[in-house]
Amino acid sequence: MERAEHLAERLGLPIRDRRLLGQALTHASWLHEHPGEAAGHNERLEFLGDAVINLVVSDALYARHPDDDEGLLSARRAVIVSAAGLARLAERIDLGSFVALGEGEAPPDGGHRPVLLASTFEALAGAILLDLGWEAARAWLAALAAPELDAATPPDDLKSPKSRLQEFAQQHLGTRPEYRVVEAAGPDHEKVFRVEVEVGHETLGMGVGSSRRQAETAAAAEAIAVLEARSAAAETAAGSSR
């Protein structure tokens, strides 16, 4: 309950149910090692919080970007509610410092892993909805995510690195990227993936992540940087020769 007390102070919200807030901070691995010492783990609250966050973000984006079509609104929402996006919001309130983890999950710096931060943030949103109601949950989430909700990010920048790489490769090279897992090491709950991406039989990027998807995204981002640098260099050389 001490974690819940400290987080309630940080949030600045009139939290009434400290036990529910404590459940939102309890990972299943901790409850497995300390049965009966919490109301339950946070996975059911994650389910509820996921729906709350998606509705709040959708509603706010619809109001704040009246000129965006459905596709662009969906792209903006995807950036905010992705694991990386929710982890950013969680870091904004230092949520990782309050998570109760089992010994197998805790080291090294387990509470600050993006995927775990994102899932805990969803659970927190669910707990706030149940405790304080829709209006309070909506206002809190919208205020916390205001920088992302208000950002007038260009459409191309909202695309995922994998989408951008595929478009670049098809338009400029007439081919598609190919991803290959070169390593998957560690226990199931802490597995680390290393992925390479090839474009036109040339390895252009390598990424590391706690899931294959994360590693592929990182590899695509690196490949995009390489291809864009080459393109810029070619344009510079062409300009100099004129």
Question: What is the CB neighbour count within 10 angstroms for residue 1?
Answer: 10
- Residue type at 84 in one-letter notation: A
- Cα–Cα distance measured from residue 12 to residue 14, given in angstroms and rounded to the nearest whole number: 7
> 3-class DSSP state for residue 185?
strand
50 catalytic? Reply is yes
Helices 43-64 and 114-132 cross at an angle (nearest 10°) of: 80
122 is catalytic: yes
Give the CA-trace dihedral at 200, 203, 205, 211, to 10 degrees. Answer: 100
* Dihedral class, residue 182 (left if φ above 0, else alpha if ψ from -120 to 50, else beta): alpha
Q: Which of 50, 105, 148, 196 is catalytic?
A: 50
- Residue 109, number of CB atoms within 10 A of its CB: 8
Catalytic residue among 122, 196, 216, 222: 122
**203: three-class secondary structure by DSSP:** strand
- What's the rounded Cα separation, in Å, for the pair 197 and 223? 7
Which are the contacts of 146, defined by CB distance < 8 A and separation ≥ 6?
Answer: none
Residue numbers annotated as active site: 50, 122
